[in-house]
Chain A
């Protein structure tokens, strides 16, 4: 008998976007309020896990064709590059820079290179969590 999963699938479609945008918010607000790359990455991967629960592993892999191993590698490279960049301009390892910019629509904002390091952390957390869950989930 074919099971009927309309309610959870429809809810998962809506709730995925709530969780995903909240994770982006947590990630961007991490410099001044609680949050940051780690929590944001965990929230993003939990949104993807919700899709995996409601639908199927192969469906989600078809919708989000991401190789999470590469995502982890990109995150590690980004973090290492951010940490190593000051060495080439004569500063110690891991020196961060910041400055104020007038962005369109957003006004005067401070941009900090810790953000790049944090996005590396974000990518690594998403990649590692999703790799673990996919590896366990597709084990027949």
Chain B
């Protein structure tokens, strides 16, 4: 087993980790109680899974075909920048349209700032 094959195995393991993390993210979407915790599961872990999958594909094409794909790097950068912002915007829209927090959640510090008239 030479060096190239070992690097290809690293790419394979990266893609496997990415798909496992994506499955974990999907379970989080099902199991968690309200919008905010669900978006926590949906943005963080699926971003990580997409990033590792793209990185694995990038390494595979680089080692196996000798092809440096700038698009994949750009995709990694793009997802890394945009996915958390999308999660932030969804949560914010949910909070401002008064979606309640899950039962059992503690402090809600944003409420007196955002809706000071109701107590």
Contact = CB atoms under 8 A, between A and B. Distances in A.
A14 B88 contact: no
B74 A11 contact: no
A8 B92 CA distance: 11
Interface string B53-77: 0000000000000000001001001
Given A7-B88, A8-B89, A15 B74 contact: no
B77 A8 contact: no
Contacts of A18: 74, 77-78, 81
Interface string A1-29: 10000011001001100100010000000
Contacts of A8: 85, 89
B4 interface: no
A14 B81 contact: yes
B81 A15 contact: yes
Nearest to B85: A11
A15 B88 CA distance: 16
A137 B78 CA distance: 27
A82 B69 CA distance: 33
A1 B114 CA distance: 9
B117 to A, nearest CB: 10
A92 to B, nearest CB: 37
A10 B81 CA distance: 11
Interface string A114-133: 00000000000000000000
Nearest to A29: B71
A22 to B, nearest CB: 6
Interface string B83-110: 0010011000000000000000000000
Contact of A22 (B74, B82, B85): B74
A15 B83 CA distance: 12
Interface string A39-73: 00000000000000000000000000000000000
Given A18-B81, A22-B71, 10 more contacts: A1-B114, A7-B85, A8-B89, A11-B81, A14-B81, A15-B78, A15-B81, A15-B82, A18-B77, A22-B74
19 contacts: A1-B114, A7-B85, A7-B88, A7-B89, A8-B85, A8-B89, A11-B81, A11-B82, A11-B85, A14-B81, A15-B78, A15-B81, A15-B82, A18-B74, A18-B77, A18-B78, A18-B81, A22-B71, A22-B74
